[in-house]
Chains A and B, each alone.
Chain A
Amino acid sequence: MNDFRRKTLLAAAAALLLKPFAALAAWNKEAFGAKSAAEALKSLGAGGAAPSKDIVIEAPQIAENGAVVPIEIQSNIPGTTALMVLIEKNPFPLASRFSFMEGALPFVKLNVKIGETSDVRVVAQAGGRYYTAAKEIKVTIGGCGG
């Protein structure tokens, strides 16, 4: 096998190996890398979210173990298509973003890590507008460091 052919094969193999990365679904690097909740919301296009009582956040008031804090969120705003969870005092506040298509209810329950006592902010997207609600969770043992 000549050198040129070997290089071509190697390049082809590399391309195949890299393919799964090219197929990566969208992950908003900018928003997830933001170091403040305001910055993260801005990158998500949700800067001017209006407060709403129709977002329900079920979470403990005091979390003993910040490494696993169960939170349940639900939006009762008609036409909600996305929910975002931000833990304001975490080093990278944006914890997750969920898009709901036809067939799913704007509801999700998950466990998150909370570094220190912080507001947990939920932002709902409905018909191109953004709504928000927050709840403070007190943490006795942090969940981010060693």
Chain B
Amino acid sequence: MAAGPMKMRATLGSGYTDVRVLMTHPMETGQRKDADGKLIALHFIQNLTVKVNGKTVVEGETSQAVSRNPVFTFRIKGGAKGDKVEVSWLDNHGDTNKTEAAVA
């Protein structure tokens, strides 16, 4: 599996929780060329899901226009210390990865 590490931090604000997540992914656009002048194939994250305490709150569809090693920030209503946040992704090769963090 080509999936690299993910990092996530969920921080309590006033009335909301910010979830900042980093995904390690090349996000190839299919338009770049390698040293031999051959096109590098499309390889990008297509779907992502944010769950709080097991319940899906955000579902995202993304294209190759999202930058390499994407960083997303999502905002959750309320939230409390210790709430479990899980973020997962799925790319166009069928690779997936996920990470979990507790709200701090």
Contacts and interface: CB of A to CB of B under 8 A. Distances in A.
Interface of A: 20-21, 24-28, 32, 67-69, 72, 87, 90-92, 94-105, 107-114, 143-146
A96 B77 contact: no
Interface of B: 16, 29, 31-33, 46-47, 49-50, 52, 55-68, 70-78, 90, 94, 96
Contacts of B72: 108-110
A69 B79 CA distance: 29
Contacts, number: 118
Contacts of B68: 67-68
Nearest to B92: A27
Given A108-B72, A146-B33, A95 B66 contact: yes
B1 to A, nearest CB: 11
Kindly list the 4 A-B residue pairs having the minimum CB-CB distance in the complex, ordered from nearest. A111-B67, A109-B73, A104-B57, A95-B65
A67 B94 contact: no
B93 to A, nearest CB: 10
Given A99-B59, A103-B57, A111 B90 contact: no
